[in-house]
Amino acid sequence: MKDHVHMCLSIAPKYAVSNVVGYLKGKSAIAIARKFKGKQRNFTGEHFWARGYFASTVGLDEQVVREYIRNQEEHEDQLEQQQLKLQW
The percent of residues above 70 in pLDDT, for the chain, comes to: 82
Q: Domain segments of the chain: what residues? A: 1-55, 57-88
Instruction: Give mean pLDDT, residues 72-76.
Output: 76
Instruction: Give mean pLDDT, residues 17-37.
Output: 86
Q: Taking the alpha carbons of 88, 73, 1, 38 in that order, is the dihedral positive or negative? A: negative
Q: What is the Cα–Cα distance from 76 to 28, expressed in whole angstroms? A: 23
Contact 49, 32 (CB under 8 A): no
Amino acid 19: pLDDT: 94
Instruction: Give mean pLDDT, residues 75-80.
Output: 74
- For the stretch 1-7, contacts whose Cβ atoms lie closer than 8 Å and that sit 24 or more positions apart, written own/partner, are 1/76, 1/79, 1/80, 2/73, 2/76, 6/68, 6/69, 6/72, 7/69
In this prediction, residue 43 has a pLDDT band, given cuts at 50, 70 and 90, of: low
In this prediction, residue 17 has a pLDDT band, given cuts at 50, 70 and 90, of: very high
